[in-house]
Structure 1
C-alpha cells in the first residue's frame, strides 16, 4: 500500500529555454533517476499533483509547463507536438540529463510518442496513458463529447470535463477541486494553439521506430480518448505491454491511483 503524504510546498520554478527562446518553466523534485511526467492538453504541471509523490520512492520527477501554460512563456502559435517534444529535450539539457524515463498522458502521451520517435537516445522507458496515435487511424471521441466541450458556459464545460475525467462514484468520494480540467491562466490564443497541435498529431507511420520498452495504460470507460486506441498503439509499438482499468475514465491515474502507480513503478524498476 502506497503511503500518501501531504506534498511539500512547491519551490519556485526554474526555467529552460527552447530553441526559439521561449522560456519553459520546469519543476524537478525528489531524489533518484529521473522520470519526466507530461500533462494533458491545456494543462500545466499541476495535472500531476494528485499522484506525483507516489513515484518518489523510486524516481525523481520532472514536470514542465508546456509553452502556453503555467509559468512558461505563451507566444503566439502555431505550436506542434514535435515542438513540445523538443521543448522537453531543452528541459533535459538544462538539467544535464542524458536519458530519462518518460510518462505521458493524454496530449502528453502524444508528446511522449514524438520524443520516442525523434529523440530515442533520450528515453530509457516509456509509459503512454489515455492517449492515441492521432491521424486517420485513431479512434476519435464522438460528436456528443465534442459538443459538451464546445458549450459557451465555462462552468458547464468544467462539469462536462469532470464527468469525462472521473466516474460519478469517484467524484462523489472526491469532490475536488480537480487539477486536470485545464490551466485557468491560459490565454485564448494558447488554448487554440494546444488544440490545433494535438489535432495535428499523427505518429502512425513512425511508431514502429519506438525502441524504448513501452507500457500503455487506459481506462475502459474513457470517452475523451476512447480505449480502442490502446490496442492500436500496441499494434504499432514493438513489444508494448498494455493494461486497461475497469470502470475508469480519462484520469485513470488518479481514480485507479494505487494500481496504476504500482504498475508504473514496477515497470520502471525492470532491468533492460
Structure 2
C-alpha cells in the first residue's frame, strides 16, 4: 500500500506497468475506488504503459480530512501527486466524477496533461437528464448498503464507519455540480476522447455537443480526423461503463498512442 503526503492528505495510489512515454493516471467515480472503477480495465492498460491509479479524499484507502469535496481540490490533489512522483505530464482517464476531475485538470492545469479520456462527463447542468438528481438529497447511506461501492469501502477504507460521512459529503458536491463555459471546452488544449454509455446519466445530445466544441463532427474523409474522438458504448449504463474493459482498452490504447 502506497500513500503520498499531499495537501494535508495521506493520498493512496497504486503504480502498475512500465514502458516509455507519458504515464496514465486513472481517476475513479464518486463513492467508488480503484477496484470498482478500474478493476477490469487497469491490468489491460498496464500491459503497455505505466498506470497510476489514485483514490481521492475520503474514498477507498485515502482517509478523509476536514475539507469539503470539490472537483477543483481533487484536481489540485492529483497535481500534487504528480509533483510527488516527479511526473511532469501525464495522460488522464476519468470516469463519472473522475472524468470531471480530469476535465478540470485539462482546463485549469493544461501543462500537466497530455491526453484526456473522459467517460460519462457533462460540462454544465444541461448535460444530465432532466430531474435525474432531484432526489439526491433524500439518499441515505444505508440505501447503498450491499452495493459494490459499499462493499469495497468497508473492505478497504481505514475507517469503515466513515461511509455515512462519505455519502453526506458527496450529496453536497452533487447539489452544486462543476460547470464549465462552452468557450473553456472549445479552448481545451489536450486531445480528448469522450466515452459515453448509450443509456448513460449524460444525455447523448450533450456528448455530441461537447464533441463538436472540441472540433469533432466533421467529414474526416475531406478534412482529416480531428484531435478529439467520441465512443458510444451500446447496451451500456452509467454504472456498467467500467465493465466494458474489453471494448475500452484497445480504443484507449490506440488513442493514447496516436
TM-score by length of 1: 0.77
CA RMSD of aligned residues (A): 2.6
Q: Please say if 1:27 is aligned against 2:17.
A: no
Runs of 4+ aligned structure 1 residues displaced above 6 Å come to: none
Deviation at 1:235, TM superposition (A): 2.9
* Superimposed CA distance per residue, residues 35-59 of structure 1 (whole angstroms, 9 cap, x where no aligned partner): 0011001222222112210001221
Asked whether the equivalents of residues 41 and 108 of structure 1 are also in contact (C-alpha less than 8 Å), the reply is yes
5+ unaligned residues in a row in structure 1: which ranges?
Answer: 1-11, 163-177
CA shift for structure 1 position 190: 3.1
Structure 2 unaligned blocks of 5 or more: 155-159, 216-226
Query: Do 1:27 and 1:62's aligned partners in 2 also have CA atoms closer than 8 Å?
Result: yes
Query: Contact 2:141–2:167 (CA<8 Å) still a contact in 1?
Result: no
Counterpart of 2:48 (choices 58, 62, 73) is 58
Relative to structure 1, is the Cα distance of residues 213 and 266 closer, same or farther in structure 2, using a 3 angstrom cutoff? same
Per the TM alignment, residue 115 of structure 1 is displaced from its structure 2 partner at its CA by: 0.1
Look up the match of 2:222.
Answer: none
In structure 2, the partner of 1:192 is 168
1:101 and 1:219, CA in 2 relative to 1: closer, same or farther beyond 3 A?
A: same
> Equivalents in 1 of 2:172, 2:104: separation in Å?
16
Paired residues in the alignment total 236
**CA–CA distance in structure 1, aligned partners of residues 142 and 104 of structure 2:** 31
Secondary structure at the counterpart of residue 237 of structure 2:
coil
Is structure 2 residue 64 aligned with structure 1 residue 74?
yes
* Structure 2 counterpart of 1:172: none
Q: Deviations over 1:29-78 (max 9, x none)?
A: 11124100110012222221122100012211111110111222312332
Q: Which moved more, 1:188-197 or 1:21-30?
A: 188-197
2:102 equivalent in structure 1: 112
Once the two structures are superposed, the pairs formed by residues 1-272 of structure 1 within 5 Å of their partners are 12-18=1-7, 21-32=8-19, 33-46=22-35, 47-135=37-125, 137-140=126-129, 142-143=131-132, 147=135, 150=138, 154=142, 157=144, 178=148, 183-184=153-154, 185=160, 186-198=162-174, 199-205=176-182, 206-222=184-200, 224-238=201-215, 239-270=227-258
